[in-house]
Amino acid sequence: MNEQTLAIAALKLAENDADFAGIIERHGTPPLWAREPGFATLVHIILEQQVSLASAKAAFDKLSATAAPLKPETVLPLDDATMKAAGVSR
């Protein structure tokens, strides 16, 4: 996705949702956040969707330290207690 496709998608949503249209009209198209692609980013995004940004960062930092480098093969072997200690549940 790039800024042009984001703008097109936002306008398409606005066509179908009056509330969203009002938000776009008042504030414009939302910014496109560029993030490094990969597993660690996916984990961080999931955590951000589940808890506050501050809590997500704390859990991400703990998990990153516990399963360094943060990759599927370093996370999968972790048991539930270790995951919970890092602030993450399965």
* pLDDT tens for each residue of 24-77: 999 999 998 889 999 999 999 999 999 999 999 999 999 999 999 999 999 999
The string of DSSP letters for 14-78 reads HHH-HHHHHHHHHH-SPPPPP---SHHHHHHHHHHHHS-HHHHHHHHHHHHHHTSS-SHHHHTT-
pLDDT at 90: 72
CB atoms within 10 A of CB 27: 8
What's the predicted TM-score (pTM) here? 0.71
* pLDDT tens for each residue of 1-26: 899 999 999 999 999 999 999 999 99
Listed by start position, the domains of the chain span 1-34, 39-85
